[in-house]
Structure 1
Amino acid sequence: MEMLQDKTVANLVTENIKTAHVFKKYGIDFCCGGGVSIAKACEKAGVNYADLEKDLIASKNENTRAVNYNSWELDFLTDHIINVHHKYVEESLPLITQYAAKVAKVHGHHYSELLEIQQLFALVATEMGGHQRKEELILFPFIKKLVQAEKEGTPVPDAHFGSVDNPIKMMEAEHEEVGDLLKKISKLSSNYTPPEGACNTYRAFYAKLDEFEQDLHHHIHLENNILFPKVLKLEKELRNSN
C-alpha cells in the first residue's frame, strides 16, 4: 500500500482539492512542481513532514464539500476553466496593472521593489493573454473534437500541430514561466505582506496579487494534473483503436 509521503503532491491534490490549501500554507508548489513525492517536496521546502501530514489528514476529515474535478467530462472541464479561471484572469489583469502603476508611482521611490514587481507583472499579463487565447482557439476546441470522436467512434481529427502532446507541452512550459514570475513577485513582496502603515491601495494591490497567484495555482493544477494527462490518454486510445 502506498504511503502518504510516497504519493506525489499533484496526485494528492487531484484526489482531494482541499489539500491544496495545506500545501499553499507550507509553501509547497502543487501545480507546476507537483510531480514530486510529498516527502521530497517537504525536503525541498524545508518543511517538517509530521506537521504537514497532520494538516493533510485534518483536511481530509473536514466536512466541507469538495468538488471532484477528476470525475468531470473533459469538454465540461475545459468550459469550466474558460468560464471561471480564464474569465478571472481577464478581469483581474487590468485591475492589478492599474494598482501596480499607481503604487509604483506613489511609493516606488521608497520601496524600490515595487518598480520590479510592476515590470514582472507586465510580463505576466502579456504571457497570460496570449496563453489563454491559444487554449481557447486551438487546444480546447481540439480536446472537444477528441471527446466527440470518442462518443461517435470516429478517428482522431486532423490538426496542424500533429499530436495534442505538442500544444500541451507548450502550455505546460508557459505555465512554468508564469509560475516563476509570480514566485519572484511573491519573494519581492515578502509573500504579499505590505509594509506597516501602507495605504489602502498598496494593501489592495498585494491582496489582489495574492488572490491572483492562488487562483493561478488552482487553474494550472486543473490543466497540468487532470485535463492534460487525460487528453493524452484519450488521444492515444483513439489512435490505437483505429
Structure 2
Amino acid sequence: MNSLETRTVAELVTENIKTAHVFKKYGIDFCCGGGITVKKACEKEGVNLKDLENDLLHVENAVTGGHNYNSWPIDFLTDHIINIHHAYVAESIPLLLQYGEKVKRVHGHHYHELHEIQDLLIEVAGELSAHMKKEELILFPFVKKLVKAKNEGSELPETHFGTVDNPIKMMEAEHEEAGELLRRISKLSSQYTPPAGACNTYRAFYAKLDEFEQDLHQHIHLENNILFPKTLKLEKELRQQ
C-alpha cells in the first residue's frame, strides 16, 4: 500500500477485506463514508494517522480467510448478497424487534433510551425491507441482464429507469439513511454496551444489534464499493459498443 493517506477507505477495504477490521477499530466508516481518503477520515474522527497506517500495513500481506469479492463476477455477487446478507436481515429483524420490545417493556422506565432505540429499529426494519425488494426485483435482475448482454455480445437491455446510475444513486442514498439510523442506535446504546447487571435478554439484544450493524457494513461495502462501480462500468462499455 503506497501513499496510504491519499488512498480512499473504500479502495483499501475492496483490495483487502481485513482492513475493514482496522477501520472499525478506529471508528471509521468504510461503507457509506468510504469514499474519502484515509487522511481525511482520520481528521474527521480525530484518529492518529500514523497509528492507523501502522495497523493497515500489518494486515496488508495477511492471508485473508475471507473471500476475494472483488474477483467475483457481478451476477454471482448479487446472488451472494441476496442469499447471505438479505437473508440475514430478513431473519434477524423479527428477533431484534422482539428483543427490543421486551427489553423496553421491562427496563424502559429506567433506561429511557430503549424507547428511542426501538423506534429507530422499527424504522430500520421498514426501510431495509423496502430497499431489499427494490434490489431483488429491479436492480439485481438488470445487473444479470447486463452480464448476459456482455457474454452474448448483444445490445444494452432496455430499462424503464434510464441509466443504471439512477437506481444505484437511490440505493446509495438509502444505504446512507440505514447507516445513519444504526449509528444513532449505536450511540444511544453506548456502542451496544449493556448496563451493569443487565439481564440476558438485554445483553442478547445489544449483542445482536452489534452483529446486525457489522453485517450491514459488509453488505453495504459489497454494493457501494464493488457491485455498483462495476455495474456502472459494464453499462458504459455496452453503450459504447
TM band (smaller chain):
over 0.9
Q: Report if aligned partners of 1:14, 1:226 keep a CA contact under 8 Å in 2.
A: yes
What are the superposed Cα offsets for residues 184-237 of structure 1, whole Å, 9 maximum, x if unpaired?
000000000000000000000000000000000000000000000000010011
Quote the residue 1:48 is aligned against: 48
Q: Match of 2:240, SS?
A: helix
Q: Match of 1:17, SS?
A: coil
C-alpha displacement of 1:59: 1.9
C-alpha displacement of 1:54: 1.6
C-alpha displacement of 1:56: 1.1
Quote the residue 1:110 is aligned against: 110
What are the superposed Cα offsets for residues 165-195 of structure 1, whole Å, 9 maximum, x if unpaired?
1110100000000000000000000000000
How far apart in 2 are the matches of 1:125 and 1:17?
26
Q: Match of 1:120, SS?
A: helix
C-alpha displacement of 1:42: 0.5
Quote the residue 1:217 is aligned against: 217
C-alpha displacement of 1:49: 1.1
Quote the residue 1:58 is aligned against: 58
1:130-169 equivalences under 5 Å are 130-169=130-169
What residue identity is the alignment partner of 2:118?
Q
Question: Structure 2 regions of 5+ residues with no counterpart?
Answer: none
How far apart in 1 are the matches of 2:207 and 2:238?
45
How far apart in 2 are the matches of 1:30 and 1:61?
20
Q: Match of 1:210, SS?
A: helix
Quote the residue 1:227 is aligned against: 227
Q: Report if aligned partners of 1:186, 1:192 keep a CA contact under 8 Å in 2.
A: yes
C-alpha displacement of 1:63: 3.6
C-alpha displacement of 1:64: 4.0
Is 2:76 the counterpart of 1:76? Answer: yes
What residue identity is the alignment partner of 1:167?
P
What are the superposed Cα offsets for residues 40-76 of structure 1, whole Å, 9 maximum, x if unpaired?
1001001111111121122224344232111100100
Quote the residue 2:201 is aligned against: 201
What residue identity is the alignment partner of 1:69?
Y
How far apart in 2 are the matches of 1:182 and 1:105?
21
Q: Report if aligned partners of 1:16, 1:66 keep a CA contact under 8 Å in 2.
A: no
After TM superposition, what 4+ stretches of structure 1 lie above 4 angstroms from structure 2?
Answer: none
Quote the residue 2:174 is aligned against: 174
C-alpha displacement of 1:125: 0.1
What residue identity is the alignment partner of 2:81?
I
How far apart in 2 are the matches of 1:196 and 1:115?
19
Quote the residue 1:93 is aligned against: 93
Q: TM-score scaled to structure 1, two decimals?
A: 0.98
Quote the residue 1:35 is aligned against: 35
How far apart in 1 are the matches of 2:208 and 2:78?
25
Identity %: 72
Quote the residue 2:239 is aligned against: 239
C-alpha displacement of 1:83: 0.5
What residue identity is the alignment partner of 1:39?
K
Q: 1:63 to 1:153 in 2, by over 3 A?
A: closer
How far apart in 2 are the matches of 1:7 and 1:224?
16
Q: Match of 1:22, SS?
A: helix
When the two chains are superposed, the root-mean-square deviation of aligned CA atoms in Å is 1.0
